[in-house]
Amino acid sequence: MRLRHHVAAALGALTLVVTLPNAASAATGQFRYTYETGEGYEAVGFLNNPRSGECVSLSGAGLDALPPAYAPKNLTNATATVFLAADCEGDVFYTLRPGGGASERLEVRSVVFS
């Protein structure tokens, strides 16, 4: 009799876990990068609390016609993988740990968070 109650409670808890939205679907914090505007000025772009597992082509640098962004700073709590190509494609990429950054020599066009 008690086993039946335990099984029912476990199934109820499992149902709640499966139906609740995943709170860990976004990195917490900010990802920053520097890019050159069309007028030749230096600007800073950023992503606040970016979604995990989704590729983001960086505004101001995500197209091949634009110069790539540089000096990325991963001020989130997730690992960021930055790519030289748009749409997180190609074999030129670099991984930034949470809280880490790179020099101005690292050029990027897109990023994905894990």
Sort strands 93-96 and 29-36 into parallel, antiparallel or unpaired.
Answer: unpaired
Please say whether the beta carbons of 77 and 98 come within 8 A: yes
Domain span at residue 38 reads 29-113
> What is the average pLDDT value for the chain, to the nearest integer?
84
Q: What is the pLDDT of residue 74?
A: 98
Give the pTM: 0.76
CATH code for position 43? 2.60.20
How do the residues of the chain divide into helix, strand and coil, expressed in percent and rounded to 5?
A: 20, 40, 45
Asked if residue 104 is part of any domain, the answer here is: yes
Asked if residue 97 is part of any domain, the answer here is: yes
Could you give the number of structural domains in the chain? 1
Q: What is the pLDDT of residue 62?
A: 82
Q: Is the pLDDT of residue 20 over 60?
A: no
Here the tokens at position 84 are: 């030289």
Using one digit for the tens of pLDDT, what is the confidence trace for 37-61?
A: 988 999 999 999 999 999 999 999 9
Q: Is the pLDDT of residue 24 over 60?
A: no
